[in-house]
Structure 1
């Protein structure tokens, strides 16, 4: 039996995703990690163009794990006061049809466990756009609809953060946050911690190590991006432009809680890589992901490690998760000198930018109360 959540989830967070770290993946790459998803403790967030169509196919094929659809329209356009949901709000309003947002959310709910709003990217200071999006969701009044707020990291600073939290609290149903831009890791984690104090129970999507850390700070659910593009949200006019891809897949080295290219691991271990005991690798060495033909097994390995962490997190009471994750991060930090010495490579292993932050960030000593929305009990 899973450990208890800090508060009842009925009506606030969809029960099928509450208390979980989901795996977020591009809709065209889900097959690489689908076999390793634990339906009892995790789930999937399908992302990008074609995500809803893929959700339909997965359900028809018998996929039973929790499933959300993130159409990622924030990657394509900014939210504005007149059009907070890009692609839905352009053109004349239909006279004899239901609201376009309602229609899309109904389509999501036919196959997903909750419906994520297709909110555009909310630039720093764009309070009108943020409030317009929230107002539409309030009018919808469906507790199965999650108000997604993909906001620039500028919203995490004092003053703006409190305004952001007030808007989120005005929505009577569940909410989820996606943090965009290129914020400094320490400031981003501190801002997220403060936001979850003000809006405990909010979901945190499309992130990395913060997916586990956020649950320890009071998030209701979260999603870990299984590849680097799923662990960041860039403004529409600042999308990454790649000049050729990497020569090998990104591999999660669980001992150090960090991703490295397969070729980097092979160079560090020099034929002396340890065996990996995850369900995907089953004792095979960790330095075998040498080129992009190994993308599928590498993705399976990554998903297995993340699913294992998700199981551990899910088994804990909410009040224990923060200390558990901080302990995990501290232990990993302590292993860097040992592994660097073991491989005897002049460069050793580079420490991930987020790891030191979560290793030292203060965690709540008690489970936070849940902010109820407008007209409901406020957080203590």
Structure 2
């Protein structure tokens, strides 16, 4: 396999906007990972990052598939977009449009032109969730991908979270098992880590809600987050800072679950970020560090596919347990559907979980912090 494509293998990438790219690059450097920069100016941002010394992998996502002006996948791809990325020394990601359910002609058009580009290249496939509705359709999709022999990056459209739907989890994992070409998952959230544990070549977690999903076109527009939310490691989900304050205050018996050793929190609880003058910035930094530390922890202690799948199953099982504890103290608490889906659809291939990092039952330093010179802003965590 081409070495420039192989540098993406098993990495949890950061999917960011151009304005977030420099901050995301600092975090990516600390965790030895890369970026997916989204937007028409992505290649320009990639060039600037290289000039400033960032040497991690960069994918340029033209994002022609989302929003009110999204392009239909039948419009194909523009080879010039791929060439610009190649000139920067990047693995090009095609500027594909959106693929409606069963639009096989559009899919083949993207793959056919992608296969004609100088390798390596990754075909971007923004798919409606209904592509994963039936096992036979997923098998047909895998055969189609293999016939062109091009690596693909999948992003899935859904009104909320595609991985909250059991058929999406079940059949996306089926695609990972059956396709012979590398399959990446982009524009996702914590599901990116689950996908990596189940064999995705690489995956990306988004910095904002709109970069963690592809929302369908509706008259209401794209949902906007009114308040900053943070990723809580032991819940495997995002929660508003004021919600975190309530949960942490009402569950003192599980206080060890809320302490975070990321460089932003520094061993305290994420709810203290509520006091920051820039809540969105610190919430972003914390969430990325926390997810990347979890990725580092799992992949540092696992060597085989079964071990990684078992580690993810254990993480989901533990998170469901913690959600049940929270529900006993917080009225109307809702356990995220994506956890139920992952836990229901997948099995633990190593029931004894030998060699799998266990979930802590008391306070301990969960992760080693990356050896990095952080900015004063990050050291203060504000």
Q: TM-score, normalised by structure 1?
A: 0.80
Which residue matches 2:368?
none
The whole-number CA distance in structure 1 between the counterparts of 2:119 and 2:183 is 14
The whole-number CA distance in structure 1 between the counterparts of 2:349 and 2:234 is 27
- Larger mean Cα displacement after TM superposition, 197-206 or 254-263: 197-206
* Larger helix share, 1 or 2: 2
User: For 2:21, which of 25, 30, 34 is the aligned residue?
Assistant: 30
Which residue matches 2:312?
325
The whole-number CA distance in structure 1 between the counterparts of 2:223 and 2:190 is 27
1:112 positional shift: 5.8
1:266-277 to 2 correspondences below 5 Å: 266-270=245-249, 274-277=258-261
**Kindly tell me: are residues 362 and 340 of structure 1, through their superposed partners in 2, closer, same or farther at Cα, counting changes over 3 Å?**
closer
**Kindly tell me: are residues 147 and 245 of structure 1, through their superposed partners in 2, closer, same or farther at Cα, counting changes over 3 Å?**
closer
Q: Is the 8 A contact 1:330 1:359 kept in 2?
A: yes
1:136-147 to 2 correspondences below 5 Å: 136-140=113-117, 142-147=118-123
The whole-number CA distance in structure 1 between the counterparts of 2:225 and 2:196 is 33
Matched, 1:49 2:49: no
Q: TM-score, normalised by structure 2?
A: 0.79
The whole-number CA distance in structure 1 between the counterparts of 2:340 and 2:7 is 32
User: For 1:191, which of 165, 171, 183 is the aligned residue?
Assistant: 171
- 1:8-33: per-residue Cα shift (whole Å, max 9, x none)? xx239811111211121122223443
**Kindly tell me: are residues 292 and 180 of structure 1, through their superposed partners in 2, closer, same or farther at Cα, counting changes over 3 Å?**
farther
Q: Is the 8 A contact 1:193 1:217 kept in 2?
A: yes
The whole-number CA distance in structure 1 between the counterparts of 2:277 and 2:224 is 12
Matched, 1:297 2:282: yes
Larger RCO (CA under 8 A, 6+ residues apart): 1
- 1:132-163: per-residue Cα shift (whole Å, max 9, x none)? 111111222x2221111111111112343233
**Kindly tell me: are residues 65 and 123 of structure 1, through their superposed partners in 2, closer, same or farther at Cα, counting changes over 3 Å?**
same
User: For 2:206, which of 201, 213, 225 is the aligned residue?
Assistant: 225
Q: Secondary structure at the match of 2:19?
A: coil
1:93-132 to 2 correspondences below 5 Å: 101=79, 103-111=80-88, 113-132=90-109
1:334 positional shift: 1.0
Q: Is the 8 A contact 2:186 2:203 kept in 1?
A: yes
The whole-number CA distance in structure 1 between the counterparts of 2:154 and 2:4 is 13
Q: CA RMSD in A?
A: 2.7
**Kindly tell me: are residues 356 and 199 of structure 1, through their superposed partners in 2, closer, same or farther at Cα, counting changes over 3 Å?**
same
1:364 positional shift: 8.6
Unpaired runs of 5+ in structure 2? 351-382
1:234 positional shift: 2.7
The whole-number CA distance in structure 2 between the counterparts of 1:224 and 1:276 is 19
Matched, 1:148 2:124: yes
